[in-house]
């Protein structure tokens, strides 16, 4: 089975940096995804990590430590449009590679 834990909400100022954490427990880890979901909209793909380390993609970076069961998403130069829920999703190779989502972390960007 899988257990994914994300803090629920944070507020940050425009232009700042925010780090969103995700810890997980899974029988057989086979990749971790980050999705962004604006209120009332569908989730959209942000990043994918399967090996340890940092993946950078513009203003967004994602880090993975498999030994610690831990990932974070780093949002730099925050913009108002970054106000959204950020979902961490883990794929379990022992669970038919099914993707299990965390509840999401709501980020509110203020001027």
Partner 1 sequence: DAGVIQSPRHEVTEMGQEVTLRCKPISGHNSLFWYRQTMMRGLELLIYFNNNVPIDDSGMPEDRFSAKMPNASFSTLKIQPSEPRDSAVYFCASSLRDYTDTQYFGPGTRLTVL
Shortest distance in whole angstroms from residue 75 CB to partner 1: 20
Residue 10 or 99 with smaller CB distance to partner 1: 99
Residue 43 or 69 with smaller CB distance to partner 1: 43
Binding positions for partner 1, rule: CB under 8 A: 30-31, 33, 41-45, 48, 87, 89, 91, 96-104
Point out which residues pair with 89 in neighbouring strands. 33, 101
Residue 47 or 69 with smaller CB distance to partner 1: 47
Shortest distance in whole angstroms from residue 82 CB to partner 1: 19
CA Rg value for the chain:
14
Least Cα distance to 62 among 52, 70, 72 occurs for 72
| C-alpha distance from residue 10 to each of 13, 27, 44, 76, 94 (Å) | 10, 30, 20, 15, 33
Shortest distance in whole angstroms from residue 88 CB to partner 1: 11
């Amino acid at each position: 089975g899988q257990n994914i834990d994300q803090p629920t909400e944070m507020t940050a100022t425009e232009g700042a940096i925010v780090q969103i954490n995700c810890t997980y427990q899974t029988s057989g880890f086979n990749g971790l995804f980050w999705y962004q979901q604006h209120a009332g909209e569908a989730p959209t793909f942000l990043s994918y990590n399967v090996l340890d380390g940092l993946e950078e993609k513009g203003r967004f970076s994602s880090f993975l430590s498999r030994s610690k069961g831990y990932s974070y998403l780093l949002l730099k130069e925050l913009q108002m449009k970054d106000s959204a829920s950020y979902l961490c999703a883990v794929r379990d190779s022992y669970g038919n590679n099914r993707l299990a989502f965390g509840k999401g972390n709501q980020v509110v960007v203020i001027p």
